[in-house]
Amino acid sequence: MSNVNGFVNEDPWRIFRIMAEFVDSFETMSTVGTAVTIFGSARTPPRDPYYKACAALARKLAKNGLAVITGGGPGIMEAANRGAAEAKGKSVGLNIELPFEQQGNRFANIPIDFHYFFSRKVCFVKYSAAFIFMPGGFGTLDEFFEVLTLVQTERVSRVPLILFGSSYWNGLLKWMKTVVEKNSLISPGDLDLATVTDDIDETVSIILDYLRQVGPPKTVGRAFA
Q: What is the pLDDT of residues 66-94, one digit of tens each?
A: 999 999 999 999 999 999 999 999 999 99
Q: What SS3 state is found at 166?
A: helix
Under a CB-based contact definition with an 8 Å cutoff, are residues 49 and 134 in contact? no
- One digit per residue, the tens of pLDDT, for the chain of length 225 reads 455 555 456 778 888 888 999 999 999 999 999 999 999 999 999 999 999 999 999 999 999 999 999 999 999 999 999 999 999 999 999 998 766 655 778 999 999 999 888 999 999 999 999 999 999 999 999 999 999 999 999 999 999 999 999 999 999 999 999 999 999 999 999 999 999 999 999 999 999 999 999 976 655 544 444
Q: What is the largest CA-CA distance in the chain?
A: 60
Report the pLDDT value the prediction gives residue 8, as an integer from 0 to 100: 52
Which helix (H) or strand (E) is 163 found in, with range?
A: strand 161-164
Report the pLDDT value the prediction gives residue 78, as an integer from 0 to 100: 97
* Residue 189 to residue 177: CA distance in whole angstroms: 10
Class of domain 2-224: alpha beta
67's CB contacts (< 8 A; 6+ apart) are 32, 33, 34, 35, 36, 84, 89, 90, 91, 92, 110
Q: What is the DSSP string of 177-211?
A: IIIIITTTSS-TTGGGGEEEE--HHHHHHHHHHHH
Backbone CA torsion sign across 149, 153, 157, 159: positive
Report the pLDDT value the prediction gives residue 10, as an integer from 0 to 100: 73
Q: Give which of 29, 28, 27, 36 is closest to 62, Cα–Cα.
A: 36
Report the pLDDT value the prediction gives residue 54, as an integer from 0 to 100: 98
Q: Where are the domains of the chain?
A: 2-224
Q: How far is CA 225 from CA 95, 214, 218, 221, in A?
A: 22, 18, 10, 6
